[in-house]
Each structure stands twice: as structure tokens, then as C-alpha cells.
């Protein structure tokens, strides 16, 4: 991909890039909507990434190009307003620059910037965190500075929260930043504190991307966030991570039905993440698979962020040989399902699931056999 991006950069800007960085997409393994509630979550960086190339300019102009969006967005260094319309993708790198500046970190002046990606977007694989982290790495390098990894991750999240405007937790940026081949990233979101848990040998990931997306997805995510905060307030804790099942039961009559359901999911889900870590350390993938399915059912029933498409895939996968478990991955309301399987699951199973999906919904599901990957890194450090 570096070669492809570099030649595209040359073709568009008629010069060589000085810096190239890469950051991976991620799978949310288990821990659905636990991150912004202070809980724990497990994710995996995948072997698909967003790549950014950059060369500095001396004239105070910033030019942004993307392999997937036609045209060049040209802005003076002083322009830091959010962009609306077809070129709004530049809000990711602009948001990172704004976050760096607000944190007192040096930012580059003018530059030529190009992004390319093989992370499918809209699949719940966090191409947005990947563009934030890869952009941040080239900006830091171009400004002649660097930051510790936890700060890189925090800058990506700050861009997403404050500039892009999504009140996400630390999962996406944390996993993209701390990913490691053959491992899961464990995040205790209260710190946040990052760790890795080795994946037992023979673990395989399959992603089934429905390409379906609820029209109100951003609003629904924000609404869930609000509902969780309301539940915590009524229960009398700062975050739902501090609530126990007994505390929830005691507060049930004071909670709205909606707030109760959201809290029920989050409290149980945080417990499932911890159980999954124990089962992974014991190499018990069958137990892990059961937790994945329980997580999905809880998202469906209590958090109400599943869809008929995602439910259909999880149900179908559950009865396939070689599948330990499956669940929706990411924010929900559309997007993708991920399955943890043995080597025994392969093309015949994929075809059965895809054909059944096509027959039921009249559209094709995109299937990706994902491998784990390493976290964000600067690939080329300038001339």
C-alpha cells in the first residue's frame, strides 16, 4: 500500500511525500458500549489500515486529497472551521490538528496530504479512528515532535469528540493505537489503561459487513450515551462501571424503563469482558464464544442497537460448524457482525450464510477473513 499511496501522491502533487504513517481498523471483540461508561473492553487491530502521506509546504497552504474522494481541498493554515458537504472527510485530519493545537502540541504549517485505505468504511471497523491516528503521526513527524502512545490515542479521540462531534469512548483509537498481531487489546477505560491479551492459537476472525446503516445512526449513538448517563445519575454513581446488579435492582422503580434496560446491558457486559479475559487466558475458546453470543443477545434485547440483518447473521453463524460465537461489532444500528471460528469454518460456511442472507434481504453481505494486525506506526520518517 505504501507504494500505491506514494505513486498516487506523486501523480496528484507532482512531488515525493516526506512522511507516511499507517493505522489499522479494529474489531470490537467484546464490550459493547462499555467504554464511555468507564468499563473494560476487548478489541483487535486488523490487518487493514488507513495510510497517510504528507510533504511540507512553505507557503502556508494545506492541500488534502483522498484516494476515494475526487478533488483537492485547499485551505490556508489559518482555516480551522469544520467542512460541510462532500469534502467533510477532511474534518478528521482537521480535527486532529485542532486537538493537537488545543493540547499545546506543535502542528505543521502548510503541507500536501493524501490518504488511502483498505478498511471498509461504514462496516463498524473504525476507519475514522484509523485516519485520525495515521494523520496525527504524520503531523507530529512533520512538526518535528512525537508524543507517548496514550497521548496519540487521546488526541484521536479528542478530534472525534470535539471536532467530528461523535461522543465515542476510547475503544476505537485505543485498539488502533495499541494493537498487536495475535493479541487482543484490553482497555480499562477508567484510566484509560491499555494491555494486551494473547489470542489462543487457531483463532480466526470473520467479518460480515451488511452495508446497512440506520439513517439516524449518529443521533442514536448520542441518545444511548445520554441514556447511560441518566441511568448512572439515578443509580447514584459517577459511571455505570461503579454500579452492581444489586444497585441496579434497588434503583429499578426510580429508573425509566429505557434507562434500566441500557444499564442492565452495560453492567452485565462489563462482567462478560472480564469473564472473556479469564477464558482467553485459559485457552477456553468455547467459553469465549458463548460470551460473544450472550453479548449480542444483550445488545439486541437491552441496548436495542441490533438490526434484523445482524440478528440473522448471528443466528446463522451460531449453527455453523467451527463457529465459537458471533456478535455485532461496533456501535450497532447496522454495520457488521464478527465471528470467532476455528480453521474448520471456511468457504462452504461463508457461502451458506451469504446465500441465506441474499435470499432473505435481497442484498449481498461482504465477507472478510480478517487477521490481527499491529497498531499505528510511522512508516517513512522523511528524507
Which residues are part of the catalytic machinery? 172
Q: Please, which residue, 54 or 152, has the CB nearer to ligand GLA?
A: 152
Using CA atoms, how far apart are residues 150 and 194, in angstroms rounded to an integer?
8
- Give the H or E element holding residue 346: none
- SS3 of 191, please? coil
The grid coordinates listed for 336 are 457488521
How distant, in Å, are the alpha carbons of 233, 245, 256, 262 from that of 252?
13, 10, 8, 12
Q: Please, which residue, 28 or 112, has the CB nearer to ligand GLA?
A: 28
Q: Please, which residue, 55 or 293, has the CB nearer to ligand GLA?
A: 293
Binding site residues, ligand GLA, CB under 6 A: 28, 32-33, 35-36, 168-169, 171-172, 330-331
Q: Please, which residue, 17 or 38, has the CB nearer to ligand GLA?
A: 38
- List the Cα angle 369/130/12 in 5-degree steps: 105
Using CA atoms, how far apart are residues 255 and 76, in angstroms rounded to an integer?
50
CA dihedral 265, 305, 29, 99 (to 10 degrees): -100
User: Shortest approach of ligand GLA to residue 338 CB, angstroms?
Assistant: 12
Q: Please, which residue, 195 or 284, has the CB nearer to ligand GLA?
A: 195
User: Shortest approach of ligand GLA to residue 299 CB, angstroms?
Assistant: 9
Residue nearest to ligand GLA (CB): 168
Half-sphere exposure at residue 175, Cβ-oriented, CA atoms within 13 angstroms: 35
User: Shortest approach of ligand GLA to residue 356 CB, angstroms?
Assistant: 27
User: Shortest approach of ligand GLA to residue 369 CB, angstroms?
Assistant: 21
User: Shortest approach of ligand GLA to residue 97 CB, angstroms?
Assistant: 20
Please, what's the b/e burial string for 67-82 (b: 16 or more CB within 10 A of its CB; e: otherwise)?
beeeeebebebeeeee
The 8-class DSSP code of residue 164 comes to I
Amino acid at each position: 500500500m505504501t507504494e500505491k499511496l506514494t505513486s498516487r501522491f506523486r501523480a496528484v502533487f507532482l512531488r515525493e511525500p516526506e512522511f507516511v504513517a499507517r493505522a489499522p481498523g479494529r474489531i470490537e471483540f467484546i464490550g459493547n458500549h462499555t467504554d464511555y461508561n468507564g468499563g473494560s473492553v476487548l478489541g483487535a487491530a486488523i490487518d487493514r489500515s488507513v495510510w497517510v502521506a504528507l510533504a511540507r509546504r512553505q507557503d502556508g497552504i494545506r492541500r488534502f486529497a483522498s484516494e476515494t474522494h475526487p478533488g483537492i481541498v485547499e485551505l490556508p493554515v489559518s482555516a480551522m472551521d469544520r467542512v460541510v458537504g462532500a469534502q467533510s472527510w477532511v474534518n478528521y485530519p482537521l480535527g486532529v490538528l485542532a486537538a493537537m493545537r488545543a493540547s499545546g502540541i506543535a502542528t505543521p504549517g502548510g503541507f500536501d496530504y493524501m490518504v488511502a485505505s483498505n478498511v471498509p468504511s461504514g462496516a463498524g471497523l473504525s476507519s475514522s479512528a484509523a485516519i485520525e491516528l495515521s494523520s496525527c503521526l504524520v503531523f507530529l513527524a512533520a512538526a518535528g515532535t512525537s508524543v507517548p502512545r496514550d497521548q496519540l490515542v487521546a488526541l484521536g479521540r479528542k478530534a472525534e469528540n470535539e471536532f467530528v462531534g461523535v461522543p465515542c469512548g476510547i475503544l476505537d483509537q485505543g485498539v488502533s493505537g495499541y494493537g498487536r498481531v495475535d493479541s487482543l487489546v484490553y482497555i480499562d477505560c477508567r484510566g484509560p489503561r491499555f494491555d494486551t491479551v494473547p489470542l489462543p492459537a487457531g483463532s480466526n476472525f470473520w467479518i460480515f459487513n451488511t452495508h446497512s446503516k440506520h439513517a439516524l445512526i449518529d443521533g442514536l449513538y448520542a441518545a444511548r450515551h445520554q441514556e447511560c448517563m441518566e441511568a448512572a445519575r439515578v443509580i447514584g454513581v459517577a459511571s455505570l462501571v461503579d454500579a452492581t446488579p444489586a444497585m441496579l435492582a434497588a434503583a429499578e422503580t426510580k429508573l425509566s424503563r429505557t434507562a434500566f434496560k441500557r444499564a442492565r446491558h452495560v453492567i452485565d457486559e462489563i462482567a462478560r469482558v472480564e469473564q472473556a479475559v479469564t477464558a482467553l487466558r485459559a485457552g477456553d475458546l468455547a467459553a469465549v464464544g458463548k460470551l460473544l453470543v450472550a453479548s449480542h443477545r444483550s445488545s439486541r434485547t437491552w441496548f436495542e442497537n441490533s438490526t434484523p440483518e445482524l440478528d440473522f447473521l448471528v443466528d446463522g453463524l451460531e449453527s455453523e460448524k467451527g463457529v465459537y460465537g458471533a456478535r455485532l461489532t461496533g456501535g450497532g444500528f447496522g454495520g457488521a457482525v464478527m465471528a470467532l471460528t476455528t480453521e474448520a469454518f471456511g468457504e462452504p460456511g461463508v457461502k451458506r450464510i451469504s446465500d441465506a442472507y441474499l435470499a432473505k434481504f435481497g442484498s449481498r453481505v461482504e465477507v472478510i477473513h480478517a487477521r490481527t494486525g499491529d497498531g499505528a506506526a510511522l512508516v517513512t520518517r522523511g528524507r
